[in-house]
Amino acid sequence: MKKRALVMAGLVAATILASTRVARAQEQMVVNVPFEFVAGNKTLPAGEYAVKTTGPTHTLVLIDRRDSDASAFLATNAVVANNIQSESRLVFNRYGDRYFLAQVWSSGSSRGRQLMKSSREKEIVLTAGIETEGQVTLVASLP
């Protein structure tokens, strides 16, 4: 009987831990982007954005400017880091003075989301003959 109670307590603890991780993965993050950037096929102005993954398998990213109607709903692919992320962050590919949203990472997880290169970004890569001039990482916070 004691063994059964211990097993049940362990299952309850595991369930609570798992639900906490799922809830955390769905948390919205806020990031101040100091430059105009492209997300998918949409150009978004500089400003403060709310970002969250959504959908049944968290394959979609919603990025929404908090003080206007600028927003984008983006399909993504999974990407895995070697370590659990200590900070939520957005990663942008930079080509000269043009920025393209490339990845979204949530703290507490080794899994992130990667955007596919838009036709505009692919065109810049081809015409400039460079893969990326640089990357810019912006740390996000919880609202």
pLDDT, tens digit, 9 for 90 and up, residues 46-94: 999 999 988 777 788 888 887 788 888 898 999 999 999 999 999 999 9
Average pLDDT, the chain: 80
The upper half-sphere exposure of residue 77, i.e. CA atoms within 13 Å in the direction of its Cβ, equals 5
Span of 4-13, 23-32, 122-131 with lowest mean pLDDT:
4-13
Contact 107, 28 (CB under 8 A): no
The pLDDT-based confidence of 2 (bands split at 50, 70, 90) is low
Asked if the model's pLDDT at residue 8 lies above 70, the reply is: no
CA 51 to centroid of chain Cα atoms: 7
If one counts every other C-beta atom within 10 angstroms of the C-beta of residue 118, the result is 17
Q: Angle at CA 85, nearest 5°, toward 122 and 111?
A: 60
Predicted TM-score of the model (pTM): 0.75
Alpha-carbon distance of 77 to 90, in angstroms, equals 15
Q: Angle at CA 31, nearest 5°, toward 28 and 33?
A: 145
